[in-house]
Structure 1
Amino acid sequence: MLSPDVLKKLEAIERRFEELTAQLSDPAVASSGERFRKVSKERASIEATVNALRAYRKLLKDVEDNEALLAEKDPELREMAKEELAQLRPQLDPAEEQLKTYLLPKDPNDEKDVILEIRAGAGGDEAGLFAAELLRAYLRYAERRGWRTEVMDTSAGALGGLKEATVTVSGDAVYSSLKYESGVHRVQRVPATEAQGRIHTSTVTVAVMPEAEDIDVQVNAADIEMDVFRSTGSGGQSVNTTDSAVRLTHKPTGIVVKCQQEKSQLKNRNMAMKMLRAKLYEIEQEKQRSARDAARKSQVGTGDRSEKIRTYNFPQDRLTDHRINYTRHNLPAVMDGDVQDVIDACRTFYAAAALREAARGDASVVAEKRA
């Protein structure tokens, strides 16, 4: 059973949900676009918690009703109640654990859009080919989720592969899903260029950075050096004819970003600034995580790009996520963006780890009070 404190917190969230629902029917709120969006967003952010709480209450009521039937004289009713309870009781613990996860502190970046970077790693041309395939997989996943994507910069490799690509992904709570993709993705397969049929191992690095606004990170204009150059590759009439592409160098950190997708130099500069802010914000976030969570990172991993997080084994048609010991098959579907099960498994794993950490913290507080 959930503790009274946990139930009290959940019921407070439910009351807030009902207040927000009532506000959406208020003409004063409905007539203000900004206020309506704000109320709608807050309501949507707690709707899953409220639905889970109500489902839990119904589950408790069903268990209680069937337990009452065990006292009936009719043997057929008692037998039916036993069968129902055998199905209902095992659902209680998972439902309670799920509700607890909703009370965990939220990542402040979860609702943000992201900038996704994919780079070919070790493995030569094969790494570049897999980088291109991985980019397509993420674009397909975004399409499945109804998110918007915009390729901001690409650098072509040999044989139709990619050296690197940068994409913005916008939509509902994008970072909350894609943040689990940061790290080293390893592929094992026989390359098309391999005449002997030998399996090669190549790597691709993925970085997922929450988009940062001006209020998140301040960039001093004096610290930025801007270069313009002519775009390369396929594109409109501006390619190779005008200096529309932009390269920004952040002198204090040495970070370099470039954008050449738009015909307008101003648009490319604005996009490059968006990329630069995201990189600087990620650096600051990592500093804070390192200072705050050094102990936890050693237990559950960080998900940063230095870790080998996943292996795509094509000969065995198998994907393995090494952080959570999760395996699935059907790689063609994975490469077509069917990865929601992997992302959900990561979310469940890290939520459980956070719950264990919170429980340890609560136990320490209780021990201190007793002392």
Structure 2
Amino acid sequence: MAHRPKLIVLALALAVDMLGSGLLLPVSLLYFTEVTGLRLTTVGPLLSLAALASLPVPIIVGHVADRTRPLTRVLAAQVLQGLAFSAYVLVSGPITLLLVATVAAVGQRLFWSSFFSVVAALAEPGEDSRDADRRFAMAGMIQMGAMGVGTLIGGLAVTYSWYQPVVYLNAASFLLSALLLLLVPRGARPTAAEQDHGGYRTLLRDRPYLLLIAVNTIFALCSIFVAVAVPIHLIDGVHAPAWLIGPLLAANTVLLATGQRLAVRLVRPLSRAGALVLAGGLWALWAVIYAAAGRVPAWALVPYLLLGMIFYAAADLIHAPISNALSSAAAPPAQRGRYLAVYQYTFAFANILAPTFFTGLYAYGPALPWLALALVAAAASAVTWTLRTSLTARETASAN
């Protein structure tokens, strides 16, 4: 199979996966409360427990990543998730809910711990090393676009209480994605000479990469802060019109689904580390703007908030593809699978941290979480700036 058809099949597999995931998003809690009769106070903690139970998966994936083919792991993840969501019909109580949700969460962690290794492996001999930026941008655009469409359809399903059909469609999407992946050659297994047998000792001694993981956890916190903090801040903190929340979040989704390749092109003159420094600065500026929103006159508040979101969107457009490309290029080739698997913890940690970070500080004033976010974003940018020389050297060595 030629390189371009392989890309097309991978893109279709990702689009089908994300469409199904978007369908389930508005329905996930309602399915268990409306169809199985479980209480919301039972469902929420059990789903959180299932997510926590899946946290060791990237470590396990990292242990075997450089001895197995990433596409094989992605295929296994899709089958696992398809079977888990097919088993939703068997949920009749807390125990079965926990079992099914844990299998689904493990499958999801397995997918994201392996998928970016697949994208990284698409590099062809002799190509420009920055071509990877465009591939990661395209993957991100497909992810956001398909999930956005799925979420819209899932919202309509909630209106008509079509909970079970949505769950079945989501399960089918994973299985169809797996069938598409079967059409993609998985490549040869790593040879004994190509495999790394050093365990995690090399990674734990790799100070620049560990710092990259730390700063990207902060950048990931900035990225997801919009969904966690903006709705509450707009309604309770600055008393903005409630109708503004939907368009703000929808516009950001549309931009991520359409603008990542353009963002990659615009920051091409910068090093990847330099582009992340820019993204962190834009997030810090966005946070300061929203911290000051309480002092803006009511007549100017809506345009002020819309203008502020431009800085958030610009940062997200830069960070999404560049951070993944940098994490891949900065990893030693013989250990890339392990490094990228562990790198996915940045997003897991940020999702765990964000609600407590926001609500804990918000209790002392609506501006405080935003000022704290601006501070940590600026600090992450400063640390990334100090890493730029070593990271650029690694990218050059990896390209050669």
Structure 1 and Structure 2 fold alike (TM over 0.5): no
Determine which structure has greater relative contact order: mean sequence separation of CA pairs < 8 Å that are 6+ residues apart, divided by chain length.
2
Q: TM-score, normalised by structure 2?
A: 0.21
Tell me which protein shows more helix as a share of its residues.
Answer: 2
